[in-house]
Amino acid sequence: MNPAGLIPSPDPIPVAWGWFHVLLLFTFVVHLLVMNTMLGSGIIALLSHLRGRSETRSDSEDISRTLPYAIAFAVNTGVAPLLFLQVLYGHLFYASSILMGVYWISIVGILILAYYSAYLYDFKYETLAGGRVFLIGLSVLIFLFIAFLFSNNLTLMLEPSRWEIYFERPEGTFLNLMEPTLLPRYLHFVVASVAVGGLFLAWMGHFKKAGDSRRNGLAQTERGLKWFSNATLIQLLVGFWFLLSLPDEVMTRFMGERLPDTLLFMAALTGVVLSLFFGFNSRLVPATLSLFGTVVLMALVRDLVRQAYLDPFFHVSSLRVVPQYSPLAVFLGCLVLGLFVVVWVLRLAAKAGKEGGR
Amino acid sequence: MNYPIWEIWTIGGPFFIAVISILHVFVAHFAVGGGLFLVLTEIKARREQSPEMLAFTRRHAKFFMLLTMVFGNVTGVGIWFIIALVHPAATSILIHTFVFGWAIEWVFFVGEIVCLFVYFYTFEKMSSRDHLTVGWLYFVFAWLSLLVINGIVGFMLTPGTWAKSGDFWEGFLNPSFFPSLGFRTFLSLMIAGLFGFLTATRVSAPPVRDVLVRYTARWLYWPILALPVFAYWYLSVIPEGPGRMILGASPEMAPFVRAFLSLMPVLFVGGILMAVRLPFGLRQPLAWVLLFCGLAYMGSFEWIREGARRPFIIQGLMFSTGVLPSQEGEIQQQGMLATARWVREREPGPKNVEVQGKALFNLQCLPCHTVNGLYKDIIPLTKDWTYRGMVSQLTGQGRIKPYMPPFMGTEKEKEVLASFIAHTLHQRPKHEEKPFVFEEQPFDMPSFDPAPDACVLLAWNDLGMHCVSDNDRWFSILPPANTLEAVLIRRGETPEPVVEDVILTYRVESGFASPWKEVDFWEWAQKVYGRRLPEGTGLAGKGLEGEMVYDPKGKVYVAEKVPVVPYRDVNGRKMYNPYPLFTIEAKDRETGKLLARTEVVAPVSTEMGCRNCHGGPWRWNGISGISDETATNILRVHDRNSKTDLLKRAEKGEPLLCQGCHADPALNAQGRGDVLNLSAAMHGWHAVYMSGMEADACALCHPASLGGNTRCGRDIHTRLGISCVTCHGHMEDHSISLNKGENSKPQARSILAALEPQGSVPKEEIRARTPWVNEPDCLSCHEGFEKPVKESSGFNQWTEKGEDLYRMRFDETASLRCIACHGATHALYPAINPVSRDRDTIQPLQYGKMPYPIGSNETCTICHSEPMEDEAHHANMARAFRNVVQAEHQGPHDPGSRGIR
């Protein structure tokens, strides 16, 4: 069966595809950073509990307080790229989602479970003592499973030639397990999360104030940067595994066959090298900036990988445009206004935090 | 069509959507109204300088945050997940149309989250003015996000002018935007109150608790007052179809509408009760009860909103199956299997029923139904239908009952899907019905001695076939009631009908004299017909033998409504015979001398083919009659479609006569003025489900099937291959003419809207008719009593009055009825009877020694003493009978098989 015949026909879009492309990439990077923070800090908190060393106890405690925020914003910032993904790639994404429908819809329920578990971990941190490792453990395991499902869906979406499996398994129980890039891709995201989580921990330490806290803060920053650097080192290895597991025609694009793709990849690798350098040298701000740069560049590489996979089947430029730009304009207006208000509210909160009450 | 179908047979996609969505909107509306609740309560707390109230506000804010942030937010995304899995085509349209609407809503979500976090976590730390500002900002963001999603959801029911323009703003600010926004805004305030009760009733200090509970109660009973206003406004803007669905057209919606209407006052009263000082122990449980009432209220509202839209997922634009109405023509032509993407076997064929039937089922049925599942389970819904019934259901689907889409596909695919449901899902055995084999039941031909003043006794049944519904315990359409007529002609120069001083008697042949042992008509006559009848006596007081009465208007002797049935019992041996013979004798009244004797068939059949679609066996010895199973299936369907309670009544021992409601000239029944006459109702309704057929449609119900146990078409027309359709029209055309006759009634209008004629007469030209009165006429084809031209048709040329009917008409001498010499309709001489060959032509053979009409081939001397030259009775009669060859050499028409049931 010709796999192209299975690809549903896409609906027209209301503005030129470039707008959606930029919005998708931008909001995806934001989501990636927040999601990495959530997953990574959760993993660090869990591992800290399991290692049981006294000096890392404050790490878990601090993370327990920030984890609910991280989850809230991870979910919220996930909505935007999910929206734009559906606009550009919905016809592919829905098909792959249906193939793994049972797993995909389970995310709703288990995410709520993980989220409430994280709140319990936060609010009952003191009183639960020994029990809290189970709470954070549950949350982290669920997040890891959800991440695995996302990796499944987003890879399956790119492989229409595998969709024939529907005729054997129409109940939505198919996972793309035979995909060679699945495991390295998944691990690449998980390890990246640990790196970003470590960086987050480092910044938490950085913002601890004078006195006793200051010393603990410095130590926490050290620990955070160590998580960051070690994870980034492992990332390098996992990344190469990921690269090598790609189909040849995709991989070679980044290894010299296509100039822009290769240059971009090289730039991203440079970012990794810089991150490692600044990380191991405990230079917090440069390490953070390198990390941001690397994430942005790697997200662009990921987008090029997607395009390469879909090359025989579909390109976003083929989407028909039925133009109406006024809703976009209103959205951008609301975005600017909304951000203004949000920044203003956060400033109020910061002020209240300093002044400590009415 | 475009996408693969997620084959979740048991849970069912729509049910999944309903659970996730209703839980989400309940919490989401709380997220809006609760925002205002927090701000106003904080203001109240600060104004009254109550630290306890402030503490309550903070605790409520924590509860609020935990519920709306986690459960509310995630289930919101969950809706995106589930709708894309279950209705990807529609979801794609919504996403691509309203992407920036959702993007705008997302900005408001960011604002909500930040404001709520700040509001809660800086509760004691921020200045009161700033804190309240943050609270207000939260509420504004929340309400704005409601505003946006309200537009998108409303679009699905009232797309308004977007259908033509594709304009985002026209789709967003659609006809139901404002009534829906108003309704949801006040609903969210009410829900804020309901959740407020949960925390307010838990406040520990009694005086503060009382104040807070009473305060919260105001959030319940004030907003409720606004709800009916907006609900009514909402109802007034939705399109006619969905409006009718809500107001009763959909039987499934009724309980939700009832719940919605009854819970409003319940919640209002609940609010008042909470405001009153109830004992502590009652307030907390009542808070939970009210919360669940609120959930049920919201759930029924959303269910009504979604359900009213059936069969569309986007009103008027896309069916729930993901198919566009504009694609219907293409799919009927090429087939759904050829058009849908995710199908492997595209050519329908008998070997592929399992695979293709399942594919068609998944594409067309699964979007709304489950299999052995929780909701709209297809198994109980289709279990009473035979395969034939399933084909009929698919033919008529969506054409008169508005809440399903039409079946999309070729005729072959329809059969494949019907077979899948009947044979695969229900495991109904496939069997070919073999032609019925009649038992030979011989009779003696009466003799005739043409002495100079002898009498010729002609007799006939007024109808060519009288049908009987033989399960009165459940309902009755037609009682045992054959009417025999006879005329006694004294031979001579001018033959004269004898109308006085003679006694004409009738007597049924052996084995038919105890019909009460075979049918339950007498048991139920009191209930159904309002008359207590002695066993064996018919509705006109006549039994199986007796005296005929002279009718001066019809100029014949009549035995009215003789209650004969086709069930013969000869010394305990049961035989089926739909053509029982009656011996008619004419005797001199004074002397008792026998003047003439003849025999005549009283055709009576219980072969009502309801079971062909409605299922069930034959009632009587596996041969004929309506069984209990068939009868109850029929009543159940009638109750469902027409909102009656016939089944319950019959179970209580109160069966009805159909003509009690449905007028019928055949029984002289007036019926009810607001209901169609029986013929218009039966044919009209069933024509929707039996379109595109030839005379096989007729034979599915009427005893005309060529392989059946009656084969009522016994005359030359049938043998020439002329079917019911030539005179009566195809099923659709037939029904159109009947329903035009009832055009003042809305039921007729909806039937007419659903039917298109198959024959050559355009719909506007089809003439209205009253059943039993305006009928096809022989002379429409046999113009001038001549041979008809090949393309002749009796359709649409109706008799004007009852007296103009063939069976009532007189010859040109105005003294002899046509039927006397030519025989009854559908059994005109020469007829061949399936039980015994000559049963239907006894008098022609007795008097003329030929099976042709009396006097054929210039045998005027049957009645006249001399041969005649004038064509006194009617034109073109003085010649050789035309259809001799066919009559002699053509045997009974090959019955063939009746096909798969």
pLDDT beyond 60 at B896: no
Please, which residues 25-44 of chain B have a Cβ atom closer than 8 Å to chain A? none
**A358/B127 Cβ within 8 A:** yes
Closest approach of chain A CAs to the CA of B342, in angstroms? Answer: 6
**A90/B107 Cβ within 8 A:** no
Closest approach of chain B CAs to the CA of A145, in angstroms? Answer: 16
Name the pLDDT band for A131 (thresholds 50, 70, 90).
confident
The predicted pLDDT at position B793 comes to 86
Average pLDDT value for chain B: 92
Closest approach of chain B CAs to the CA of A234, in angstroms? Answer: 33
Name the pLDDT band for B888 (thresholds 50, 70, 90).
low
Q: Which residue carries 């069509």 as its tokens?
A: B1
- The mean pLDDT value for B447-465 works out to 89
Distance CA B888, CA A309 (A): 80
Tokens of B751: 């039937």
How do beta strands B455-461 and B482-490 pair? antiparallel
What pLDDT, in 10s, does the model give residues B306-320? 999 999 999 999 999
% of chain B at pLDDT higher than 90: 83
Give a three-class secondary structure readout of A29-98.
Answer: HHHHHHHHHHHHHHHHHHHHHHHCCHHHHHHHHHHHHHHHHHHHHHHHHHHHHHHHHHHHHHHHHHHHHH
Average pLDDT value for chain A: 93
Per the CB < 8 A criterion, the answer to whether B615 and B633 are in contact is yes
The predicted pLDDT at position B891 comes to 44
Closest residue by Cα to residue B468 from B530, B392, B388, B522:
B522
**A358/B3 Cβ within 8 A:** no
Tokens of B124: 């004691």
- The mean pLDDT value for B344-372 works out to 88
What pLDDT, in 10s, does the model give residues A293-345? 999 999 999 999 999 999 999 999 999 999 999 999 999 999 999 999 999 99
Name the pLDDT band for A210 (thresholds 50, 70, 90).
low
Contacts of A322 in chain B (CB under 8 A): 166
Q: At what angle do helices A132-156 and A17-51 cross, to 10 degrees?
A: 150
pLDDT beyond 70 at B77: yes
Residue of B nearest to A171 (CA): B7
- The mean pLDDT value for B411-427 works out to 94
The predicted pLDDT at position B657 comes to 96
Instruction: Out of B3, B121, B168, name the one closest to residue A14 (CB).
Output: B168
- CB contact B81 to A (< 8 Å): yes
The predicted pLDDT at position B696 comes to 93
Per the CB < 8 A criterion, the answer to whether B814 and B497 are in contact is no
Structure ipTM: 0.95
Contacts of B111 in chain A (CB under 8 A): 338, 341-342, 345
Per the CB < 8 A criterion, the answer to whether B581 and B599 are in contact is yes
Distances (CA, A) of A338 to A20, A78, B113, B144: 20, 18, 12, 12
- The mean pLDDT value for B83-100 works out to 97
Neighbours of A9 (CB within 10 A): 10
The predicted pLDDT at position B449 comes to 82
- Lowest-confidence segment of A51-55, B83-87, B481-485 by average pLDDT: A51-55
Residue of A nearest to B103 (CA): A331
Tokens of A324: 């109406």
**B77/A342 Cβ within 8 A:** no
**B91/A5 Cβ within 8 A:** no
Distance CA B87, CA B322 (A): 7
% of chain B at pLDDT higher than 70: 97
Closest approach of chain B CAs to the CA of A21, in angstroms? Answer: 13
pLDDT beyond 80 at A354: no
What pLDDT, in 10s, does the model give residues A251-300? 999 999 999 999 999 999 999 999 999 999 999 999 999 999 999 999 99
Per the CB < 8 A criterion, the answer to whether B56 and B199 are in contact is yes
Burial classification of residue B378, based on how many CB atoms lie within 10 Å of its CB (0-12 exposed, 13-18 middle, 19 or more buried): buried
Neighbours of A230 (CB within 10 A): 17
**A108/B81 Cβ within 8 A:** yes
The predicted pLDDT at position B791 comes to 82
pLDDT beyond 70 at B901: no
- The mean pLDDT value for B115-134 works out to 93
**A108/B96 Cβ within 8 A:** no
Residue B810 sits at the vertex; the CA angle it makes with B809 and B813, to the nearest 5 degrees, is 160
pLDDT beyond 70 at B636: yes
Instruction: Extract the runs of DSSP E, i.e. beta strands, from B678-795.
Output: none
**A72/B341 Cβ within 8 A:** no
**B111/A8 Cβ within 8 A:** no
Contacts of B71 in chain A (CB under 8 A): 112
What pLDDT, in 10s, does the model give residues B145-159? 999 999 999 999 999
- Lowest-confidence segment of A168-172, B351-355, B804-808 by average pLDDT: B351-355
Name the pLDDT band for A112 (thresholds 50, 70, 90).
very high
Closest residue by Cα to residue B654 from B473, B477, B883:
B473
In total, chain A counts a number of residues equal to: 358
The predicted pLDDT at position B240 comes to 87
Contacts of A104 in chain B (CB under 8 A): 81, 85
In single-letter form, the type of residue at position A21 comes to H
- The mean pLDDT value for B463-490 works out to 96
Tell me the whole-structure pTM to 2 decimals. 0.91
Distance CA B556, CA B815 (A): 10
pLDDT beyond 80 at A102: yes
Name the pLDDT band for A212 (thresholds 50, 70, 90).
low
pLDDT beyond 90 at B662: yes
The predicted pLDDT at position B280 comes to 67
Maximal CA-CA distance, chain B: 129
Instruction: Out of B89, B126, B341, name the one closest to residue A348 (CB).
Output: B126
Q: In terms of DSSP H, where are the helices of B377-479?
A: 378-382, 387-396, 411-419
Residue of B nearest to A17 (CA): B96
- The mean pLDDT value for A15-19 works out to 97
Within 8 A by CB and 6+ apart from B858, the residues are B867, B868, B878, B879, B880
pLDDT beyond 60 at B894: no
pLDDT beyond 50 at B52: yes
- The mean pLDDT value for B855-879 works out to 90
The predicted pLDDT at position B892 comes to 45
- Picking from B106, B123, B140 by the largest number of A CB atoms within 10 A of its own CB, the best residue to mutate is B106
Measured torsion, CA atoms of residues A336, A337, A341, A342, in degrees rounded to the nearest 10: -30
The predicted pLDDT at position B790 comes to 81
Closest approach of chain B CAs to the CA of A217, in angstroms? Answer: 23
**A355/B4 Cβ within 8 A:** no
Judged by DSSP in three states, B578 sits in coil
Contacts of A8 in chain B (CB under 8 A): 2-3, 88-89, 341
Residue of B nearest to A333 (CA): B104
Q: Which residue carries 């679609």 as its tokens?
A: B613
Give a three-class secondary structure readout of B190-232.
Answer: HHHHHHHHHHHCCCCCHHHHHHHHHHHHHHHHHHHHHHHHHHH
Distance CA A73, CA B5 (A): 33
